[in-house]
Structure 1
Amino acid sequence: MRFYRSRIPLTQEELAERTGLSMRAISDMERGRTQTPQLRTVQLLVRGLRLQGEEAAEFTSLARAGRTRAAEAKPEVPAAVAAMSSYTLPPVLIELTGREAERKEVDGFAKDAASASRLQLAVIHGAPGAGKTALAVDAGHRLGSRFADGCVFLDLRGMDSAPLPADRAAHRLLRAFGLEERQIPADADDKLALYHSMLRDRTVLLVLDNAVNEAQVRPLLASSPGTLVLVTSRNTMTGLDARHRLCVDMLPLDRSVALLGAVAGEHRVAAEPSSAERVAELCGGMPLALLIAGNRLASRPQWTIRHLAEQLEDERRRLSVLRAGDLQVRAAFEISYHQLGPGAAALFRRLALVPGSDISTELAAVLAERAEEALEELADASLLGISETPGRYTCHDLLRVFAVERMELDEDPAVVREVGTRLRHWLLAVATRAGRLFDHDNPEPVQDRESAGRWLALELENWRGALRSAVALGEHEQVLALAKAMHWYSDMHGVGELWREVFSAGVEAAQALGSARDTAEQLNYLSWALYALCGQPHDALVVHEKAAAIMANDTLTEAWTWYYGSAIRRRVGEPEKAVWLGRRAVELFEQAGYLIGENLALSLLGLMLSTVGSVDEAIEVQERGVSQHREAGGDDELLSMMLIRLATTLAAAGQVLASLELLDEAESLFSKHGTTAGVARVRHNRGIVLMDVGRLHEAKVELLSALDETRLSDHRIEIMARLAELANATGEAADAREMRVRALAECDRYDTPAVRGTAAGLAAALTH
């Protein structure tokens, strides 16, 4: 009865007025003095407490049976502690799942409080639906008996339209301390003074749940050695002098699935593991959403988990699906949203226009005025998370869906279009400028390039999303400008799928604009992405032939066409044709007076010549390219790529020491500029050279270091195959088998003669 009264919440006096019962009668029932109330009394209480359905039936049954709330199976504790420990502490309806680490932290808070000379304050904060209250209630039930005067729980109703004032909170806490109504002063200040006095004389675990802000909590704090106050709030409460802070984040995937199983039934989750994971992903690890999803499944045994996952896939329905009785994800979000100031609310809505999952202060300023202030308000309200990268904020997927809803409800469509266009054009323009800083023809200061690289990496989701929107809207000029700007940047950054998309968009934009030269250029870049990064040389050959068929009337474009064609022909097993195209590319670059292209073509030609056995000529042309590049003071990254190619050829000629020296220089240059993909390429090649001369331990170190960073399509296969050979040579049969299995799985992704040969060798080794 005390729980249901506090849930509304009502004082005993208010419940007496509502039901027509006396305060003494209500007090006697709550304290267990009256255990068999009359049926009429029970009916009045059911109406007064607004109980319905199962709750009303259970309440009536308990009253009729004369049961008390005391749990006889619990360990014996002093009567005063038992009374306070049960005061208003909500029951644990489902075991706390996936919060083992957070539990340990709270246990540590309690341990610190036991030896502290003053009151210990801990703030538990997090996004709506993260499970802050569940963690605090769990702590109350588990840890309350450690405190001499037990545990007291009070809902401060911080998310209500009228949060509980401090004096009313103190009134309820005084009742929890055992005072009768007539003993509590009417004056608010006197009430707080009495509360402080009584708290100082007690050692309690005080849970102040659902606080709205610091001003609501401060009056309820007082010096009390050994006492621990747990404050839960969506607000970060940065203004409180808290000894401990715990941010309750979303659950990782495995713990999300465990929570779903705890609610819906472990047998159902075990029967559909992939669908359960998908539901957990679509709930974003949010405990409230997972609880609702589990309840929906539990109440609908005919449903499959896959059916629920399909419902959640639709973003426009997702928040409506995540509703079970009075539990609603949308309602939890709305409470926080409606407490925002106008500027923060506007920015929150417009986050729906941001393609990626995080946002910078700079990008937010494009969406709304006074963006930094609004971002901080959203972060304080836990509607945005703080990224590990300073100056950036993260937005939960479900909150983003809610932002879309609010934008459609609260924003003028014309304003939305204008802001969306402004954001898209800003992202495309900044990405294009950043990409151009990597143009080796017009080198900028190194620090500018490094800053541009950081921006492109951090904002990848956002500028890529802006590109997709621009493609859909037919903004061909902006699309082509970005694709052209990414030529040199793509050499050492990003993955194959990204550049296939970017340069495919570039091809379509160039064709729409009627530019033959730009079309051929973008086809060349696309062919490179397909053979070098995506492992699709035959598709690359088709694209290359389209580029070769275009009459661009531009010597430089034609030179690049033969340059990429040479590399593709080598990949598809046509080395002689690759050599011919390589020589033609060198001639055309020289004819165009483009030294960077000439040096790169000489370097590539060396690889082709080495493939057909002309090692001496290969070394000669590659050394010529390196020498010319050094004399011209060329770019470090291009020099490093040429050094790797030359080192490979020297190693094939038996010049191991010279090869290793060049690789050391290349790694030093890549490291200087923070080019991790380049460093991985060096270590890959160094590992092979060392392995071939019998320095097996060093080779293993190099190859393992390169494995996770390499980005070229079939290099991972070669590294894993080599590591398998090394493991075999050192008697590590299990490791060798694991590497061969992994390498063979990768082989299915690529269709080249070299990979097919490697796959056959791996399969043969696995069968012996």
Structure 2
Amino acid sequence: MPGQTSPFGDRLRALRRAAGLTIEELAERSGVSARAISDMERGRSRTPQVRTLAALADGLGLDDDARAGLTAAAKEARSPSAAGRPRLCEPPRGVTDFVGRQAELEIVRYAAKRAVDGDDLPPVVVVHGQPGLGKTALAVRAANDLRDGFPDGCLYVDLRGVDAAPLPAGDVLLRLLRALGVRPDQVADSDDERCAHLRGILRDRRCLLVLDNAGSEAQVRPLLPAAGRCLVIVTSRRALGGLEGVLRIALPPLAPEESAGLLRSIARQAADPRTAPQVDRVTDLCGHLPLALRIAGTRLASRPQWTVGQMVDRLADEGRRLAALSAGDTGVATAFALSYAQLPAPAAQLFRRLAHIPAADFAAPLAAVLVEAALPDAEGRLEDLVEVGLLQTVGVDRYRFHDLIRLYADERLHAEEPPDTRAETTERMNTWLLETVVVAGRWYEPGYGRLPDGWAGLARLATLEEADAWLRAEVDNWLPALRTAAAEGRHQLVAGVAAATRWYSESTLRWRGWWEVRRLARAAAGALPDLSQQAFHTSLYAWTAVYLMALYEEAAEAAMEAYRLAQSIGDLQEQARALSSAGAAWLNLRRFDDALWAHRTGCELADRAGDHDLYVDHLVGVGYALEYLGRYDEAIGEFQRALAELDRRPVAARPALANRATAMYGVASSFDHAGRHEESLRAVERALPVLMENRYDDVVAFALVLRGKARAALGRPAEARADLTRALEMLAESLPSRLEDEARAILPTLDGTATAEAGADLTRTLETLADSLSRRIETEARATRAVLDGTDPA
């Protein structure tokens, strides 16, 4: 069928022929496709955009008059009387306060370059992510930035993928074909023919297609060009993993500085530098979600009497936050609701029940517990939530809510599930968490170190390493569960968790949560009629007060309370355990004789009770008491005796490793105190591998200090500096200690730039001590002075 001519098409054809150019030659000169020029000349497409018109005029080499005439013809063709129809598939208005997303825009620019070069299939960029991230804003911004490179048109279609009835592919094909100049009577009836027609047109044109809000791969696939120099940008809440050969951009929330910039660009109040802390708080409460930030900014801008602080107050209340983040027909909750409505019933149930989880992230087994489902079924439901943008993946096997989506899940939970169901779900979750803690913790118990026979729990706990990984990963879930159990009076369960994690806690000493665990357990045991449990948990509380909190007076009092409880029931083993904590507390209180009594008495009690683990533990304690009393040879003898008993007695693996490490360290420390540096160096180098195997990070750091001191005294300053520097790095988050202070004092003496100053200080010290009775200090000063002078310390 012959094409319908138009005044613009006639003028373009006449100018081309007057220039002696074929359509192909004009296409080459102008950069406008031959197909597009042909359609314009025959009146089969809409008149060109300004950029395309300028490219044609440049390609024709028109002077000003001819260029004006062509422009006038184009304007006439664009008038309603001439066009006869509106322009179709025009992109929406972009936002004027667009911020950030430079990395994402760079990816789209890269794809556009590939499209223009035409070396491959037309590139497709899929921008995906949770609701409210600004996917459409990014796509429209990119289209506006890049449309000059696509002179045959920039076309936009909202696919309405989250609506109850998404736009059918056939309707989208019809809109695109008509926007590309195909008359209605030339559009085929079948989707397959329309798809082929669209691909045929796009093969010869340079167009940019924005397919916004896609619901599925099936909705997008028929719209993608198979050849040519086009670029397609797709936005979706789903990753559209079924589309092959596409560039995917997983859109994250804005960076904090970008969030603040967006808020300041919208609301005048936020632009005041004095409001910076409140602005940062608003952006945090909005979760750095562009939709939420835009709504908050709009509400501020429309209420000039409000302050940013007042907006903070409104958003700080979790119960009102989602309501506060709505304006007119736009709201954060409304955006989330569209995705929630798409979920099948099992996934929707899981979504709202995930609000029970107290921590920011979780793994699939906990989700399975919430909905009483098999693990594969729970994993499938979680992936459904990820697919529609209601959940984020973290690492390999964990998931996380955006803060605002969590609030929406909690809103749906309270609206759709009755109180008794919510209470049952919470209790089931907490019980599973705490029972799993008990199983995981028992990997570390002497004489246990394995899974219970027949255990088939959901969590992966087949090895000690897996148990450790689970306890660390889920700590922000199981500790709140323990608090709840304590508040509900589930005393035996609370006490059981503390007992099962006793040995595990020794490998994670820096975690301050143990203090709360032990306090809760001591209180729970006090409510039980079992004096044995009261003694055990009071002693464990004392141990934690010593080794974690450095509350030595309180630790000593609690330890002696536990000792008396154990005496009242004739429990020799518990008496010995309580005296272990008492001895450690008294050592730190410099009550060395009391500590020596506690450990020697504990040795006797443990031996009578047949507790080989505690017996060796107290032997090590005796060694430390003697060391602090200045009886170094006796101390070394006790440490070596402890090492011999470890080889002789059937001590369980974990306490054997722990006591071997501390005894070997004690030997090195005693040699250090005695000023026997070569022996200290040999001893600490034997101890370090055992300490590292035992995962005693703080004690490893102390051993490095000992090695650094020995190396400094033996004239090896470079090695000493490396040891001391590494030790201080390791101790940065630990409680202050004497050895840390010593390391800080020695380091400047090893620094070449401070040598003279340090030497002068030591010289003055020697003069002051000339007639002093403190001969040991004088000897140490002379040794260090010799190191600085480069002479033999001897």
Coarse TM-score class (shorter-chain normalised) = 0.7 to 0.9
3-state SS in 2 of match to 1:335: helix
Q: Which residue of 2 aligns with 1:584?
A: 601
How many residues are aligned here?
664
Q: Which residue of 2 aligns with 1:644?
A: 665
Which residue identity lines up with residue 653 of structure 1 in the other structure? A
Q: Which residue of 1 aligns with 2:762?
A: none
- The 3 A distance-change label for structure 1 pair 257 and 656 is farther
Cα distance, 1:479 vs. partner?
Answer: 0.7
Cα distance, 1:333 vs. partner?
Answer: 0.9
Query: Where do 1:26-45 residues align within 5 Å?
Result: none
Which residue identity lines up with residue 506 of structure 2 in the other structure? D
Cα distance, 1:152 vs. partner?
Answer: 2.5
3-state SS in 2 of match to 1:272: helix
Q: Scaled by the length of structure 2, what TM-score is found?
A: 0.76
- Tell me if structure 2 keeps the 8 A contact 1:123–1:246: yes
3-state SS in 2 of match to 1:127: coil
**Distance across 2 between alignment mates of 1:489 and 1:522:** 15
**Could you tell me which of 487, 512, 516 is aligned with 1:501?**
516
**Could you tell me which of 105, 108, 125 is aligned with 1:106?**
108
- The 3 A distance-change label for structure 1 pair 500 and 141 is same
- Tell me if structure 2 keeps the 8 A contact 1:150–1:204: yes
Q: 1:400 and 2:406 equivalent?
A: yes
Which residue identity lines up with residue 132 of structure 2 in the other structure? G
**Distance across 1 between alignment mates of 2:709 and 2:277:** 40
Cα distance, 1:712 vs. partner?
Answer: 7.5
- Tell me if structure 2 keeps the 8 A contact 1:439–1:488: yes
**Could you tell me which of 427, 432, 438 is aligned with 1:421?**
427
**Distance across 1 between alignment mates of 2:549 and 2:265:** 42
- The 3 A distance-change label for structure 1 pair 680 and 725 is closer
Query: Where do 1:554-569 residues align within 5 Å?
Result: 554-569=571-586
- Tell me if structure 2 keeps the 8 A contact 1:127–1:234: yes
Which residue identity lines up with residue 452 of structure 1 in the other structure? A
Cα distance, 1:487 vs. partner?
Answer: 0.8
Cα distance, 1:159 vs. partner?
Answer: 1.3
Residue deviations 1:607-652 (CA, integer Å, cap 9, x gap):
3322221111111111211222234464334432333333222333
- The 3 A distance-change label for structure 1 pair 575 and 282 is farther
Q: 1:410 and 2:423 equivalent?
A: no
- Tell me if structure 2 keeps the 8 A contact 1:534–1:713: no
**Distance across 2 between alignment mates of 1:275 and 1:113:** 45
Cα distance, 1:375 vs. partner?
Answer: 1.4
Cα distance, 1:282 vs. partner?
Answer: 2.5
Quick check: 286-295 or 703-712, which moved more? Answer: 703-712
- Tell me if structure 1 keeps the 8 A contact 2:88–2:178: no
- The 3 A distance-change label for structure 1 pair 332 and 613 is same
Q: Which residue of 2 aligns with 1:526?
A: 541
Quick check: 528-537 or 235-244, which moved more? Answer: 528-537
Which residue identity lines up with residue 459 of structure 1 in the other structure? E
Q: Which residue of 2 aligns with 1:210?
A: 213
- Tell me if structure 2 keeps the 8 A contact 1:710–1:716: no
Quick check: 543-552 or 223-232, which moved more? Answer: 543-552
Q: 1:452 and 2:467 equivalent?
A: yes
Residue deviations 1:307-330 (CA, integer Å, cap 9, x gap):
333332322222112223333111
Which residue identity lines up with residue 666 of structure 2 in the other structure? R
Greater gyration radius: 2
- Tell me if structure 2 keeps the 8 A contact 1:347–1:364: yes
Q: Which residue of 2 aligns with 1:597?
A: 614
Q: Which residue of 2 aligns with 1:22?
A: none
Which residue identity lines up with residue 93 of structure 1 in the other structure? V
- Tell me if structure 1 keeps the 8 A contact 2:661–2:694: no
Residue deviations 1:546-598 (CA, integer Å, cap 9, x gap):
44554553222222222212222233343443333333333332332222122
Query: Where do 1:66-85 residues align within 5 Å?
Result: none
**Could you tell me which of 459, 474, 477 is aligned with 2:489?**
474
Which residue identity lines up with residue 172 of structure 1 in the other structure? R
Query: Where do 1:681-760 residues align within 5 Å?
Result: 682-683=703-704, 686-687=707-708, 689-691=710-712, 693=714, 695-707=716-728, 709-710=730-731, 713-715=734-736, 719=740, 722-723=743-744, 726=747, 729-730=750-751
Quick check: 598-607 or 232-241, which moved more? Answer: 598-607
Q: Scaled by the length of structure 1, what TM-score is found?
A: 0.78
Which residue identity lines up with residue 124 of structure 1 in the other structure? V
Which residue identity lines up with residue 171 of structure 2 in the other structure? R
Counting aligned pairs with the same residue, the percent is: 35
Q: Which residue of 2 aligns with 1:138?
A: 141
| Structure 2 stretches lacking a partner, 5+ long | 1-47, 58-70, 79-85, 452-460, 758-794
Q: 1:225 and 2:228 equivalent?
A: yes
**Distance across 1 between alignment mates of 2:465 and 2:702:** 20
- Tell me if structure 1 keeps the 8 A contact 2:161–2:215: yes
Query: Where do 1:241-640 residues align within 5 Å?
Result: 241-265=244-268, 268=271, 270-368=273-371, 369=373, 370-388=377-395, 390-444=396-450, 448-493=463-508, 495-541=510-556, 543-544=558-559, 546-548=561-563, 550=565, 552-553=568-569, 554-632=571-649, 634-635=653-654, 636-640=657-661
Residue deviations 1:282-319 (CA, integer Å, cap 9, x gap):
22232222222233333334333333333323222221
3-state SS in 2 of match to 1:208: strand
Which residue identity lines up with residue 411 of structure 2 in the other structure? E
- The 3 A distance-change label for structure 1 pair 720 and 574 is closer
- Tell me if structure 2 keeps the 8 A contact 1:121–1:244: yes
Cα distance, 1:366 vs. partner?
Answer: 1.3
Query: Where do 1:26-65 residues align within 5 Å?
Result: none
- The 3 A distance-change label for structure 1 pair 626 and 337 is same
Q: 1:117 and 2:134 equivalent?
A: no
Which residue identity lines up with residue 278 of structure 2 in the other structure? S
3-state SS in 1 of match to 2:250: strand
Residue deviations 1:201-244 (CA, integer Å, cap 9, x gap):
22233221111111110010121333222211111111110331
**Distance across 2 between alignment mates of 1:336 and 1:724:** 61
Q: Which residue of 2 aligns with 1:668?
A: 689
Residue deviations 1:638-693 (CA, integer Å, cap 9, x gap):
43233333322233334445544554455434655777666556545544554555
- Tell me if structure 2 keeps the 8 A contact 1:203–1:224: no
- Tell me if structure 1 keeps the 8 A contact 2:542–2:559: yes
3-state SS in 2 of match to 1:245: strand
- Tell me if structure 1 keeps the 8 A contact 2:546–2:581: no
Residue deviations 1:96-138 (CA, integer Å, cap 9, x gap):
3342332333333333334432111222111111222222222
Quick check: 700-709 or 159-168, which moved more? Answer: 700-709
Cα distance, 1:346 vs. partner?
Answer: 1.0
- Tell me if structure 2 keeps the 8 A contact 1:582–1:605: yes
- The 3 A distance-change label for structure 1 pair 705 and 269 is farther
- Tell me if structure 2 keeps the 8 A contact 1:524–1:547: yes
Q: Which residue of 2 aligns with 1:88?
A: 90
- The 3 A distance-change label for structure 1 pair 559 and 255 is farther
Q: Which residue of 1 aligns with 2:777?
A: none
**Distance across 2 between alignment mates of 1:555 and 1:405:** 55
3-state SS in 1 of match to 2:125: strand
Which residue identity lines up with residue 534 of structure 2 in the other structure? T
- Tell me if structure 2 keeps the 8 A contact 1:212–1:233: yes
- The 3 A distance-change label for structure 1 pair 666 and 179 is farther
Residue deviations 1:158-192 (CA, integer Å, cap 9, x gap):
11122111122122223433445555445544333
3-state SS in 2 of match to 1:158: coil
Which residue identity lines up with residue 674 of structure 2 in the other structure? A
Which residue identity lines up with residue 117 of structure 1 in the other structure? D
3-state SS in 1 of match to 2:97: coil
- Tell me if structure 1 keeps the 8 A contact 2:114–2:120: no
- The 3 A distance-change label for structure 1 pair 559 and 311 is farther
Quick check: 679-688 or 128-137, which moved more? Answer: 679-688
3-state SS in 1 of match to 2:214: coil
Which residue identity lines up with residue 424 of structure 2 in the other structure? E
**Distance across 2 between alignment mates of 1:477 and 1:218:** 59
Residue deviations 1:485-534 (CA, integer Å, cap 9, x gap):
11110011164431011111101110111333322322332233333223
